[in-house]
Amino acid sequence: MGGRRGNTREEIRRVALELFAEQGYEKTSLREIAERLGVTKAALYYHFKTKEDIIASLFEEVGEKVDELVAWAQSEPMTREHRVEIIERYAEMLRGPAGDLMRFMSQNQQEVRDLKPGEGARARFLKLARVLADDRDPVVDQLRARLSIMSLHMSVFLMRDMDISDDERHEAALQIAMELVDNHPAHAQRQQPAN
């Protein structure tokens, strides 16, 4: 396991999330994760000491990516084109580990409230929404910004009952998010304040 450490960690997280989805976070043990992977518990323990460590590593990775997106978004004047690119970049993030984390959060809401790493997720979401529309914008534009992000979230965990592919679900949510940010007149040409 040690030679492919990065890949092994990804595989552990993938399998853990799979089991959490099947059985729930609380009912899944490290032993079951190790068995599904076909490794010893000691080999798993080398990478992650607890289930919370597995989830914390996902929160950390996704959080860093959202922070990078926010920093990039704040570095440019807020135009329609910039808002569109922010949404496109965030949508692409949700096709990977961020989407897996969203599904976990949706399926394990009570446990997420109790997990220390979950505390910052809501704050990051609000920070991203405030980049698209902040307190200077009309309330309707602030709501549009949040709904544009929520439409992307919803495609990850609320539309699973529909008989469509992941790509179709993603594209539909992206189209709705784009319509919301396109219909944002008060924010269309706001410039970032000079330092």
What are the extents of the domains in the chain? 1-49, 56-187
Distance CA 185, CA 189 (A): 8
- Which are the contacts of 194, defined by CB distance < 8 A and separation ≥ 6? none
Higher pLDDT, 159 or 95: 95
Pairwise pLDDT comparison (145 vs 114), residue with the higher score: 145
Q: What is the pLDDT of residues 37-51, one digit of tens each?
A: 999 889 899 999 998
Average pLDDT, the chain: 81
Per-residue confidence (pLDDT) for residue 5, from 0 to 100: 52
Exposure string of 14-24, with b = 16+ CB inside 10 Å and e = fewer, is: ebbbebbbeee
The answer for residues whose C-beta is within 8 angstroms of residue 121's C-beta and 6 or more apart is 59, 63, 105, 112
Spatial contact of 58 and 93, defined as CB atoms under 8 Å apart: no
More confident residue, 1 or 119: 119
Domain 1-49 has CATH 3.30.1490.100: no
pTM: 0.77
Angle at 157 (CA atoms; ends 155, 158), nearest 5 degrees: 75
Tell whether the model's pLDDT for residue 186 goes beyond 70. Answer: no
Q: What angle do CA 115, 120, 122 make, to 5 degrees?
A: 105
**What confidence category does residue 190 fall into, taking pLDDT thresholds of 50, 70 and 90?**
very low
Check whether 154 has a pLDDT greater than 60.
Answer: yes
